């Protein structure tokens, strides 16, 4: 059986090397996603601000210094552009800068008297952008007050669950990695199966006296090799676009990654046997994986925000789907943190899903093997 299995692997890898279209597709879609999210993450972390400092004194200098040093786990809060009031106003009017902060000439004098004001102008085309500017400026004012008069300021005692925040890019990176793994495994496996029908060779491969096992094992092994190649390329893209710490994908992540590969492959076999067309399979796989990414790739995100409306309905209806917990395992392991949910039961649940999907694929396969008039 080993020689028959290896024959299937060699044949499929040779065919893939000569026609690598679907391998390329299995890489391109997740890589495009990574770069798309790299843009979003960039926009959500460091925001630009034109600062027109008309007042110079201990209060205004401290305030600007506070703005300059503000940062989160994702990086600096502000990209400050200090300029004269006229230039700042012109840049804001022309749309070259989205936010402008004017520190009026009376600021230091007014601050000493306890009633200072700053003027924040925001091109409020998007409420999320406006909120970012408002919250960060307020935070800077509060920080300045705390430094200036610690005896009379209101302070927050934070009790985060973990020692430090998880960066947005790493949080996103785990979801994108899940997307890449499931999509690559689904497309590679589905294509390997569908191609036997497209090339009208299905009858010949099921007529071997070695039975169906070399066919099944061969396809799985080939899929594994192809998916390793696809995911490796996506991981490199994650490293460069999102600075994802790929060196931390250590042994604690291998089990969940392997389970996601098996899950995607089981879905791929089902799609391949049901659709029997590679080109149809690609968009179907993309939609299915995207649904996973949006519904369970951010499970912990939705848990925090699912209050009413469609989001809560979606969260309630998908929270039991184990892909979320398994993805979180990768997410937390990379950070060296203990995940919210215990993993073994979800790994078991994933294994059950893999078996169910594979059994469904075998059932469809048996139906499809009822050859009539050729194929």
Partner 1 sequence: MATTTAGSESVRSESPLPPVMLDGVTASFSRRGHEPVVAVRDLSFEISRGLIFCLLGPNGSGKTTTVNMICGLLAPKRGDIRVYGHSPSRERREVLRRLSVVPQETALYDSLTGRENLGFHAHYYGVPKGEVADRIARALDVVQLTDRQHDRVGTYSGGMQRRLALGRALLTAPDLLLLDEPTLGVDVQSRRAIWDRVRELADAGTSVLLTTNYMEEAEELADDIMIIDRGARVARGSLDELRAMVARQRLILHFPGSEAAQRAQATLAAQQQVNVRDSTLEVELDDPREALRLVGVINDRLSGLSEGPQRFEFKESNLQDVFLRFTGRELRD
Binding site for partner 1 (CB under 8 A): 3-4, 6-8, 10-11, 14-15, 18-19, 199-211, 214, 369-375
User: Do you know the residue count of the chain?
Assistant: 375
Strand partners, 216: none
- Between 119 and 375, CB nearer to partner 1: 375
- Shortest distance, CB of residue 324 to partner 1, whole angstroms? 38
DSSP 338: -
- Between 3 and 155, CB nearer to partner 1: 3
- Between 160 and 209, CB nearer to partner 1: 209
Q: Residue 329 CB: number of other CB atoms within 10 A? A: 23
The CA distance from 334 to 72, in Å, is 19
Structure tokens at 88: 């700042």
- Between 217 and 314, CB nearer to partner 1: 217
Query: In terms of C-beta density within 10 A (0-12 exposed, 13-18 middle, 19 or more buried), how is residue 113 classed?
Result: exposed
- Between 17 and 307, CB nearer to partner 1: 17
- Shortest distance, CB of residue 221 to partner 1, whole angstroms? 14
- Shortest distance, CB of residue 198 to partner 1, whole angstroms? 10
The CA distance from 134 to 130, in Å, is 6
- Shortest distance, CB of residue 208 to partner 1, whole angstroms? 5
- Shortest distance, CB of residue 220 to partner 1, whole angstroms? 16
Structure tokens at 364: 């469809």
Q: What residue ranges in the chain does DSSP mark as E strands? A: 47-53, 71-72, 75-76, 78-82, 99-103, 119-122
Q: What angle do CA 235, 249, 316 make, to 5 degrees?
A: 85
The CA distance from 301 to 310, in Å, is 15
DSSP 75: E
- Shortest distance, CB of residue 214 to partner 1, whole angstroms? 7
- Between 56 and 210, CB nearer to partner 1: 210
- Between 11 and 248, CB nearer to partner 1: 11
- Shortest distance, CB of residue 369 to partner 1, whole angstroms? 6
């Amino acid at each position: 059986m080993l020689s028959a299995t290896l024959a299937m692997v060699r044949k499929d890898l040779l065919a893939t090397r000569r026609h690598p279209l679907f391998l390329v597709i299995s890489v391109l879609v997740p890589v495009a996603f990574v770069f798309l999210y790299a843009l979003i993450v960039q926009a959500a972390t460091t925001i630009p601000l034109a600062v027109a400092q008309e007042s110079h004194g201990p209060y205004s200098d401290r305030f600007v210094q506070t703005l300059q040093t503000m940062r989160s786990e994702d990086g600096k809060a502000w990209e400050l552009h200090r300029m004269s009031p006229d230039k700042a106003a012109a840049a804001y009017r022309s749309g070259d800068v989205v936010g402008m902060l004017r520190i009026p000439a009376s600021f230091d004098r007014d601050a000493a008297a306890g009633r200072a004001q700053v003027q924040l102008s925001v091109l409020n085309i998007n409420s999320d952008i406006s909120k970012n500017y408002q919250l960060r400026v307020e935070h800077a004012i509060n920080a300045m007050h705390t430094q200036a008069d610690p005896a009379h300021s209101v302070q927050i005692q934070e009790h985060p669950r973990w020692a430090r925040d998880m960066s947005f890019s790493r949080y996103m990176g785990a979801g994108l990695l899940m997307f890449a793994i499931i999509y690559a495994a689904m497309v590679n496996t589905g294509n390997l199966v569908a191609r036997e029908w497209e090339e009208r060779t299905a009858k010949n491969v099921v007529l071997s006296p070695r039975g169906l096992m070399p066919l099944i094992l061969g396809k799985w092994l080939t899929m594994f090799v192809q998916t390793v190649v696809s995911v490796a390329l996506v991981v490199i893209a994650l490293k460069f676009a999102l600075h994802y710490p790929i060196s931390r994908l250590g042994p604690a992540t291998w089990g969940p990654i392997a389970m996601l590969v098996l899950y995607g492959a089981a879905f791929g076999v089902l799609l391949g046997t049901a659709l029997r067309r590679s080109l149809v399979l690609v968009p179907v796989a993309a939609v299915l994986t995207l649904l996973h990414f949006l519904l369970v790739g951010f499970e912990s995100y939705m848990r925090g925000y699912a209050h009413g409306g469609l989001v809560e309905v979606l969260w309630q209806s998908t929270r039991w789907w184990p892909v979320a917990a398994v993805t979180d395992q990768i997410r937390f392991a990379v950070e060296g943190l203990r995940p919210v949910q215990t993993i073994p039961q979800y790994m078991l649940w994933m294994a059950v899903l893999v078996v169910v999907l594979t059994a469904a694929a075998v059932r469809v396969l048996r139906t499809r093997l009822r050859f009539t008039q050729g194929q």
